[in-house]
């Protein structure tokens, strides 16, 4: 026996594990829930089903749930030092408070602050997240922690006089982040919003995204002020832009903005004030929508109409946004907030969709090979226990959302993360 080769084989494959749970929520096409079933995996999921082979299984215990690990597709960890600093309750006041406090908040967030943010996500069962990086301050820490990261280098800037400088800085951040690309760390780009990025800059950046296959995120139609500014060049944004950026007219029409993302994989974040036409355009280019209900509530921008999003066959994800507009990065808390806020939708069916939104949909939006328990998928799994047994299995998604805050086990690429 060649032990060198054998060892290399185990390194490559990882250790093979077999887990058994009372409830396995697969998140596969058919949305199957399996009772008293098993999953065998190394780095990838090998088999899912009943009485798979003779090897002993690790039983996760009474009322245990095994499901895909969660994915928080939109965060801003550079703002993690914020707790009570930023001004909530009104979007423009919030934005002004960001301009005023951003540098200080960024300075306050280094090692320990990033660690706390990642730890909170980890405890709540998150295996991967989409990080919007404005400065690059977050890069070093994020390359040294165990969760998967899609790292969106943000471009922002509306003044044509400085567009070139901003573009050069953006390119430098892309290059720097590329050095760290690996199985768990992928480079991507973020175009901040239709009101804050000059179309010249947008075109250049989207060209790079297409060439390099970078995934894109952009904030879109978050506030009423944004709606009024982009439609009529009026409202609260008018004063804001004249005072801060010497800008007197909006840069682009919303539909034109959306169409620029054709032939890319783009997530439009918020979309609270997107109209039918815009949702249709997002649907046409196979865009995703990221719903951040707590952020929208705290900045008082309104509630996304999920029914309308579903009617246009747009896949939506739920995300926390950053601590800049949330008190927590726990995704179970976020989907519980969505469940309680989306009062037009039936709680049982909404709960099913919400679980999809933070697993399989989020995986697709970030181009990850996880988010469901199926042969060939990455073994990114979580397990936790419900307080009691479920009588009617139809209630399982709702009860999971009501009763779960933290998980007992998190596996990423088949490896237990502590
Ligand atoms: O998603 C929320 C609210 N909408 C827009 N931007 C941000 C959010 N949280 C943080 N941001 C950042 C954004 O990436 O704040 C800055 C940008 O860098 C706003 S523009 C000065
Ligand atoms: Fe955001």
Residue range 4-21, pLDDT digits in tens: 555 555 555 568 999 999
Q: Which of 274, 314, 276, 318 is nearest to 295 (CA)?
A: 318
Ligand 1 site, residue 134, Cβ cutoff 6 A = yes
* Complex ipTM over 0.95: yes
Alpha-carbon distance of 345 to 130, in angstroms, equals 27
Q: Give the ligand with the smallest distance to the CA of 92.
A: 1
Q: Which atom of ligand 1 is nearest to the CA of 299?
A: 3
Q: Which atom of ligand 1 is nearest to the CA of 74?
A: 1
Smallest CA separation from ligand 1 atom 18, residue: 134
pTM: 0.96
Q: Which residues surround ligand 2, an ion (CB under 5 A)?
A: 321
Judged against a pLDDT cut of 80, whether residue 364 lies above it is answered with yes
Residue range 185-214, pLDDT digits in tens: 999 999 999 999 999 999 999 999 999 999
pLDDT band at 302 (very low <50, low <70, confident <90, very high): very high
Over residues 87-109, the mean pLDDT reads 98
pLDDT band at 322 (very low <50, low <70, confident <90, very high): very high
pLDDT band at 357 (very low <50, low <70, confident <90, very high): very high
Active site residues: 222
Return all residues near 87 (Cβ < 8 A) that are at least 6 apart. Answer: 93, 94, 96, 97
The DSSP result for 68-105, as a single string, is EPEEEEEE-GGGTT-SS-S--SSHHHHHHHHHHHHHHH
CA of 323 to the centre of ligand 2 (A): 10
Alpha-carbon distance of 191 to 202, in angstroms, equals 7
H or E element, residue 278: helix 276-284
CA of 413 to the centre of ligand 1 (A): 31
Pocket test for ligand 1, best of 73, 85, 117, 134 (most atoms within 8 A of CB): 134
Ligand 1 site, residue 226, Cβ cutoff 6 A = no
Report whether 335 contacts 119 (CB < 8 A): no
Say what percent of the chain tops pLDDT 70: 97
Q: Which atom of ligand 1 is nearest to the CA of 98?
A: 21
């Amino acid at each position: 026996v060649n032990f060198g080769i054998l060892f290399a084989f185990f390194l490559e494959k990882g250790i093979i594990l077999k887990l058994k749970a009372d409830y396995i929520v697969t998140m596969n096409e058919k949305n199957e829930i399996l009772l008293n079933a098993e999953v065998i995996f190394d780095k990838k999921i090998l088999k899912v089903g009943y009485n798979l082979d003779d090897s002993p299984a690790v039983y996760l215990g009474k009322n245990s749930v095994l499901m895909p690990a969660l994915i928080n597709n939109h965060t801003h960890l550079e703002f993690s030092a914020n707790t009570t600093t930023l001004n909530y309750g009104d979007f423009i006041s919030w934005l002004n408070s960001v301009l005023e406090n951003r540098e200080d908040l960024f300075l306050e967030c280094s090692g320990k602050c990033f660690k706390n943010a990642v730890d909170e996500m980890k405890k709540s069962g998150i295996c991967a997240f989409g990080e919007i990086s404005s400065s690059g301050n977050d890069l070093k820490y994020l390359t040294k922690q165990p969760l998967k990261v899609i790292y969106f280098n943000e471009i922002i800037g509306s003044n044509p006089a400085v567009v070139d400088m901003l573009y050069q800085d953006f390119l430098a951040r892309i290059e720097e982040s590329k050095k760290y690309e690996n199985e768990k760390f992928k480079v991507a780009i973020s175009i901040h919003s239709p009101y804050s990025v000059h179309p010249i800059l947008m075109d250049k950046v989207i060209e790079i995204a297409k060439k390099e296959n970078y995934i894109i995120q952009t904030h879109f139609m978050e506030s009423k002020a944004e709606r009024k500014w982009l439609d009529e060049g009026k409202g609260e944004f008018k004063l804001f832009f004249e005072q801060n950026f010497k800008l007197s007219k909006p840069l682009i029409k919303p539909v034109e903005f959306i169409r620029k993302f054709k032939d890319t994989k783009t997530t439009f974040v918020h979309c609270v004030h997107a109209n039918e036409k815009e949702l249709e355009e997002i649907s046409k280019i196979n865009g995703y929508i990221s719903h951040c209900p707590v952020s929208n509530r705290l900045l008082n921008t309104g509630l996304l109409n999920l029914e309308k999003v579903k009617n246009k066959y747009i896949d939506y994800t739920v995300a926390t946004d950053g601590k800049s507009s949330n008190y927590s990065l726990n995704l179970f808390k976020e989907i519980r907030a969505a469940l309680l806020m989306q009062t037009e939708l039936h709680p049982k069916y909404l709960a099913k969709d919400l679980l999809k939104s933070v697993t399989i949909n989020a995986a697709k939006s970030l181009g990850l090979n996880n988010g469901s328990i199926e042969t060939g998928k990455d073994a990114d799994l979580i397990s936790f226990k419900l307080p009691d047994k479920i009588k009617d299995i139809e209630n399982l998604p709702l009860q999971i959302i009501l009763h779960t805050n933290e998980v007992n086990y998190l596996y990423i690429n088949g490896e237990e993360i502590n």
